[in-house]
Structure 1
Amino acid sequence: MYPTDLTDSGWQVIEEILADKRKRKYSLRAILNALLYVTKTGCQWRLLPNDLPPWPLCYYYFWKWRNDGQWEKLNKALVERRRQKAGRNGSPSVGVIDSQSVKCSEWGVVPKGFDGHKKINGRKRHIVVDTLGLVLVVVVHAANQHDSPAARVVLTRLAEQGYERMSKILADSAYGKKLARWLKKSFGLILEVVKVSEFSGFQVVPMRWKVERTFAWMNWSRRLSKDYECGVDSHESFVYLSNINRMLRHF
């Protein structure tokens, strides 16, 4: 038993969502336990403990569900259930967007770039969260790409998720009026820039602190402390796995 293992109630929720009755030598629960272990500890695949399923099998499921979008689907289903458990509507009406630059451990991988503002050579994880701080969508791209044009990809993917009540996106000043016009025309969503007051020093920005808290939560998963992945889609999957693990603790 590891602290990252699924609880009985958490597995029951996953089992209901997946509705997979196929018989396997290693259960889906054991495989998910292994994937959550990798996400939390940041260990290499080949260093998985021997009492977990073999690493090639675990990596196969990670790879397969990454490529067919299963991690996104599972994340969305759990977001809806988590919100309902908190007394909210399953579909959020407000999202908060922001990006975080992270160092990349691999040499020569693309996309990758230098964020001159944060002085980081690597990638950005661009996310939209709800007011509970749950990740709705994530897109990973080169760190030298400006937030405003990159946000179009993020918000397009958010629209494809099908959150029918979504009506407003909160952002900081890096997202300009041109993006707001595009968002309104393309998806009928309002982009509202939350401004910082004129007072100097540290200050908690209304609503936007929620997305900053989510970035802090991500750092609790060692696999996300740095970008260890050659492909951006693998990093995105680990962001979803981290969010899934956090949500399951509330069931």
Structure 2
Amino acid sequence: MTDAEWQRVRPLLPVPGWLEGRGGRPESYCHRVMLDAVFYVVDNGIKWRAMSVDFPAWDRVYAFFRRWRNNGLIDELHDRLRGKVREAEGREPEPSAAVIDSQSVKADAVVGTGSRGYDGGKKINGRPRHLICDTIGLLLMINVTAGDVTDRQAAADMLSALRDRFPTITRLWADSGYTGTLITWDLSMLHLVVTVIKRTDDVSGFVVLPRRWVVERTFAWLLHSRRLARDYERRPDSSEAVIRWSMTRLMTRRLAGPRRA
């Protein structure tokens, strides 16, 4: 991170437990160094053991990543940054509308059979990333499942949690994979209006569809991180954490403004 980026991130960092008297021991490394190390892994797609000698030992960096994943600290930092980015765009910190979609990626050999499956529609053996973003493409929720979990199955669980986490959201855009009883259930039980944007049959090739292009762009942002070009994580929650780290890096750069040569 540049100094400008660090100045943006530092006030938003979760406070360590030992500073608030909640137990634990002081950390051995500066948070800026550890954040840079995790960003280095996510951005370059390297193995943890291939950590550069410019950073702390790989097992210390992985322990930091694991602790932030298990304690929800990366979720906390990510959500605070999202609110700041929305405010910088002239919007309210909490969104009122969202877009949902999924992306299937191939799974590495380390991914066990219990958390992977075959996506018949996209013919990919791996894991889908079910993602809900706001209308400017910032991540709201992510759910990584096995490949044989359908979009409607994943959406049923995610939308209930979305209503609890973001009560201000009243409208959702989706593609034709989310049709059926899910729409009427969302309206009656969650008071959430779901609008399905379909592709016309007489059009061939790539076409930009209203609202749906926002979430597609978010998936493209994620693929800029080489660690996300394929699913290399043994656990689905680790894969979700890597996605949040990638979005955290993107929002940090956006808040700090354009970089100088």
1:200-239 equivalences under 5 Å are 200-201=203-204, 202-239=206-243
Preserved CA contact (<8 Å) 1:149 1:179:
no
Asked if the contact 2:137–2:215 (Cα under 8 Å) also holds between the matched residues in 1, the reply is yes
Does the CA-based 8 Å contact 1:38-1:223 persist in structure 2?
yes
> Residue 29 and residue 186 in structure 1: after superposition, are their counterparts in 2 closer, same or farther (change >3 A)?
farther
Does 2:167 align with 1:164? yes
Query: Cα RMSD between the aligned structures?
Result: 1.6
Tell me the amino acid that sits aligned with residue 104 of structure 1: A
Which residue matches 1:41? 44
Q: Distance in 1 between matches of 2:147 and 2:210?
A: 26
The residue that corresponds to 2:2 in the other structure is 7
2:121 corresponds in structure 1 to: 117
- Change over 3 Å in CA distance of 1:215–1:159 after alignment to 2: same
Letter in 2 for 1:126: H
Is the 1:109–1:230 Cα contact (8 Å) retained in structure 2? no
Question: What residue in structure 1 maps to residue 84 of structure 2?
Answer: 81
Deviations along 1:117-158, one digit per CA (max 9) or x if unpaired, are: 111001100000111111111000011111111111222332
The 1:91–1:100 alpha-carbon spacing in structure 2 relative to 1, beyond 3 Å, is same
- For residue 29 of structure 2, what is the amino acid of its counterpart? Y
For residue 131 of structure 2, the aligned residue among 124, 127, 131 is: 127
Q: Deviations over 1:168-218 (max 9, x none)?
A: 110001102311222233332111111223431121100100111111111
Preserved CA contact (<8 Å) 1:218 1:239? yes
Q: Output the TM-score relative to the length of structure 2.
A: 0.89
Equivalent residue of 1:142, what SS?
Answer: coil
Letter matched to residue 189 of structure 1: L
1:75 Cα deviation after fit: 1.4
CA distance 1:156–1:220, shift in 2 (3 Å): same
TM-score under structure 1 normalisation? 0.92
Match of 1:182 in 2: 185
Q: Distance in 2 between matches of 1:30 and 1:170?
A: 39
Separation of aligned partners in 1, 2:161 and 2:52: 36
Counterpart position of 1:54: 57
Confirm whether residue 18 of structure 1 aligns to residue 22 of structure 2: no
- Greater shift after overlay, 238-247 or 182-191? 182-191
Tell me, yes or no, if structure 1 residue 153 matches structure 2 residue 157: yes
CA distances 1:54-73 after superposition (whole Å, capped 9, x unpaired): 11111111111111222222
In 2: Cα distance, 1:17 partner to 1:185 partner = 37
Unaligned runs of 5+ in 2: 20-25, 256-261
Alignment partner, residue 3 of structure 1: none
CA–CA distance in 2 between the matches of 1:219 and 1:205? 20
Measured in 2, the distance between the counterparts of 1:242 and 1:73 equals 14
Preserved CA contact (<8 Å) 1:66 1:237: yes
Letter in structure 2 aligned against 1:122:
G
Output the amino acid matched with 2:86.
R
Contact 1:218–1:224 (CA under 8 A) maintained in structure 2: yes
Question: SS at 2:114's partner residue?
Answer: coil
Count of residue correspondences: 245
1: CA distance between counterparts of 2:69 and 2:226?
Answer: 19
Alignment partners' CA distance in 1, 2:170 and 2:225? 31
Q: Does the 8 A contact of 2:14 with 2:76 survive in 1?
A: no
What is the identity, as a one-letter code, of the residue corresponding to 2:231? Answer: D
Preserved CA contact (<8 Å) 2:97 2:135: yes
